Amino acid sequence: MARWTRRSFTATVLLAAAARADVPALIDRLRGAVVPVGTFNALDNPRFAFRGSGFAVDDGRLLVTNSHVVPEDAPASGRQYAVLAPRAGGGREVRIATLQRLDRTHDLALLQVDGPPLPALELAAPGSVREGLDVLLAGFPIGGVLGYSMVTHRGMLSSITSIALPSPNAHQLSERALKQLRDGPFEVYQLDATAYPGNSGGPLVDARDGKVIGVVNMVLVRGTRESALSNPTGITYAIPVRFVRELLERQ
């Protein structure tokens, strides 16, 4: 049986404190990589229409978000996909983005952003994710209501569970619903972290090293969508990083 000494106790406390002290540094890393995602039209008011969050990967010009953040009818209506990227000297600027790939089944999209690269986040190895992991999720939960300032929430990966569509009425079966039913259930991460609809598409990262382990894709809402702000459930779901890797590797 191992002896628990004052020295070992002190070392444990110091290690825990060091881990907590790293979180502000991780947030600083996230701040440059996580951006608001939406559409842009010079004739609209406002010209930038916020849809969700996204984050830079790979060479810094590729951006991951949710497919439901990317409206399919945008090009037909004269709107362009866009992000609000940090600008040197402060503030944000509109950068036009091009849709590269979609994975509707796993609610993921890959955009290519114009201009200089953003600081890219590193993707974690899929096998490194376990229940009980301390996590951070970053994004823009209420859009531009108070200005576009990134918000970070902390929580725990409470469950790795399978998800499948319920059996809908035959008249409600869309092409996407049919494909997901054919593909069967897949694993998602359930979090005990409070997020809001604007967090969709933001990164879920390991609080130890800042590596991306998933993409926030939905928040369990009690009642109406508006009640998510005043009466949050504290339950959030994220798509595992392995599906992000598959999207990046797709030819």
Q: CB 121: neighbour CB atoms within 10 A?
A: 23
Burial of 93 (0-12, 13-18, 19+ CB in 10 A): exposed
Whether the pLDDT of residue 5 is over 60: the answer is no
CATH code at 126-249:
2.40.10.10
Identify any residues that bridge with 239 across adjacent strands, giving them in sequence order.
215
Locus of tokens 């979180």: 23
Shortest CA distance to 214 belongs to which of 233, 195, 234?
195
Find out whether 174 and 182 touch, Cβ atoms under 8 Å: no
Shortest CA distance to 239 belongs to which of 181, 179, 199?
199
Tallying the residues shown for the chain, one arrives at: 251
Percent of the chain with pLDDT over 90: 54
Whether the pLDDT of residue 226 is over 60: the answer is no
Paired tokens of 147: 């200005």
Judged by phi (left if over 0) then psi (alpha if -120 to 50, else beta), residue 143 lies in: left
Percent of the chain with pLDDT over 70: 75
The DSSP secondary-structure symbol of 126 reads G
pLDDT in tens, 158-196: 999 886 544 444 444 445 554 554 555 688 899 988 778
Predicted pLDDT at 167: 43
